[in-house]
Structure 1
Amino acid sequence: MTHAASNHAANTPAASTHRAPADCPVCSHELITTRLGCAHCGTELAGRFERCGFCALNAQQAELLTVFLASRGNLREVAKAQQVSYPTARARLSSLLQALGIEEQGAEPSAPTRAEVLAQVEAGELTPAEAARLL
């Protein structure tokens, strides 16, 4: 390989990049980022960098977030895309919110009011059968 080709290969992201672990494999505490590097020019920064909350999501949570955003927050569409029931999609969203620190762990999502359930049926987000179970 020529010097230019090897230099280019060294400065491009590897085909097999790995997801950074979120927790220490020895003591299970949260890992921190202490070094960042530019794949193009080789510049490196060292220090203590704030952790990205989204980067700590597992693959299933990241997929759910992508589907949720693509459906513009329509849980009925999320359930359909993930081939699960509406209550399962809602539970997964609650778990995602917990992982992001938006919802407290163990906190039960508040039960929707009758008016909210009827509005979801009208919007096509819930089937009448699912609405009946919630009421």
Structure 2
Amino acid sequence: MTHHLYHAPADCPVCGDDLIVTRKGCRTCGTELAGEFTSCAYCGLETSELDLLRVFLTSRGNLREVEKHLQVSYPTARARLDAVIDKLGFTPTGDAADSQSDPSDPVTGEPAEEPMSPQEQVLARVAAGEISADIAATLLASL
């Protein structure tokens, strides 16, 4: 018989302090261990945050895949990943000043994307709702 495993809370519902694992057991042979065990860093993440990390890792750090999976813009996908990184207590390499001088993506370490062509900029403005398709067609024709 397969038992459903629940995601254990990371914080105490009474005082809000961190919970620790005090008992572990084997469902096959019934062996039990009691004591004070540390939780993993990822145990405090919510299901949606774990899903984001799964997509990020299985796509080998491709934020465009995360963007597609979440159906959000690239900046939103990156902000959500940054929030998970922050929640885990990790410090992303570099900062805003470094990202100006370093052309690589601070999260993936991959080279930054090439600047958008004028045509791509026009299409991005349409996608963002800044201009209509008619205005975009006129702009593209003049390029």
Say yes or no: TM over 0.5: yes
Distance 1:123 1:62 in 2: 31
Q: Secondary structure at the match of 2:89?
A: coil
* Aligned twin of 2:18: 30
Counterpart Cα distance in 2 of 1:90 and 1:81: 13
- Greater C-alpha radius of gyration: 2
CA separation in 2, counterparts of 1:31 and 1:62?
19
In the alignment, the residues of structure 2 paired with residue 32 and residue 113 of structure 1 have an alpha-carbon distance, to the nearest angstrom, of 41
Q: Which residue of 1 aligns with 2:36?
A: 48
Q: Which runs of 4+ in 1 moved over 3 A?
A: none
Contact 1:94 1:103 in 2 (8 A): no
Unaligned residue ranges in structure 1 (runs of 5+): 1-8, 131-135
Unpaired segments of 5 or more residues in structure 2?
Answer: 105-110, 125-143
Letter in 2 for 1:113: Q
Q: Residue 55 of structure 2 aligns to a residue in which SS?
A: helix
The answer for the alignment partner of 2:103 in structure 1 is 116
- Equivalenced residue count is 111
Superimposed CA distance per residue, residues 43-92 of structure 1 (whole angstroms, 9 cap, x where no aligned partner) = 00011111111122101110010010011111122112211111101111
Give the distance between the partners of 1:34 and 1:115, measured in 2 at CA: 46
* 1:1-44 deviation per Cα after TM superposition (whole angstroms, max 9, x unaligned): xxxxxxxx4xxx41x32110111111111100010000101100
CA contact (8 A) 1:33 1:50 kept: yes
SS in 2 for 1:113: helix
The SS at the match of 2:96 is coil
C-alpha spacing 1:114/1:51, structure 2 compared with 1 (3 Å): same
**Measured at CA, do residues 115 and 50 of structure 1 come closer, stay the same or move farther in structure 2, by a change above 3 Å?**
closer
